[in-house]
A and B are shown apart, each in its own frame.
Chain A
Amino acid sequence: QSALTQPPSASASPGESVTVSCTGTNSDIGGYDYVSWYQHHPGKAPRALIYEVTKRASGVPPRFSASKSANVASLTVSGLQPDDEATYFCSSYAGNNDWIFGGGTKLTVL
């Protein structure tokens, strides 16, 4: 299995919105509605943001939203705040009780 494809970086100014893509195949993103997104600040534990493509994890504000179309999943962060600066990973169930992750997108809040 190859890793899911994410852009290595993204940036936007405070208050703006940014969308991060995650591209897979019919064997993972396109085959199951089990896409999840994670936020990772360096040195801290990654935090689950989204699961089952669109559902926000407990305590995650509505500024974080996500969707999927065919083999591409997307995470949108609206009303950017300085603390949103982090690396964002996508993940998908890949069948056979296997999981696959993306390479991560480092989001910079300008």
Chain B
Amino acid sequence: QVRLQESGPELVKPSQTLSLTCSVSGGSIRSGGHYWSWIRQHPGEGLEWIGYIYYSGNTHYNPSLERRLTISIDTTKSHFSLNVASVTAADTAVYFCARLSVVGRHFDYWGQGAPVTVSS
């Protein structure tokens, strides 16, 4: 059973960089056919896809967020990370990591989510 767990600070100051890490266990982060993704949920709203990374390092980002995003991967530590630069209150959300399966193009495993508040 693949398990994902987000970690990182719950409070970030405006204009700073939000950094989160997702640890993967129970399966290989190098498995073909899977992309490691970030998704967020603003308070009281639906989900927003942020982007994904393949184990090779190839990335794809939501065009509306792309200029502030960096997703990276460390296959030796079996984790991948999200950086969002120049954050504002609009980046306050619960951030989920998830595995995107090429089969069916769906997110088959998710983490529990990490709440992040942007505030001074």
Residues of A within 8 A of B (CB): 1, 3-4, 6, 34, 36, 38, 43-48, 51-52, 55, 57, 89, 91, 93, 97-104
B47 to chain A, nearest CB (A): 4
Chain B residues engaging chain A, CB cutoff 8 angstroms: 4, 39, 45-49, 60, 62-64, 96, 98, 100-101, 103-113
Q: Decide if B46 touches A104 in the complex (CB within 8 Å).
A: yes
Residues of A within 8 A of B111 (CB): 45
Main secondary structure of the interface of B (DSSP, over half): strand
Which residues of A are found within 8 Å of B113, using beta-carbon distances? 45
Distance in Å: Cβ of A100 to nearest Cβ of chain B: 7
A45 engages B104 (CB within 8 Å) = no
A45/B49 contact (C-beta < 8 A), A34-B106, A36-B107, A51-B105 known: no
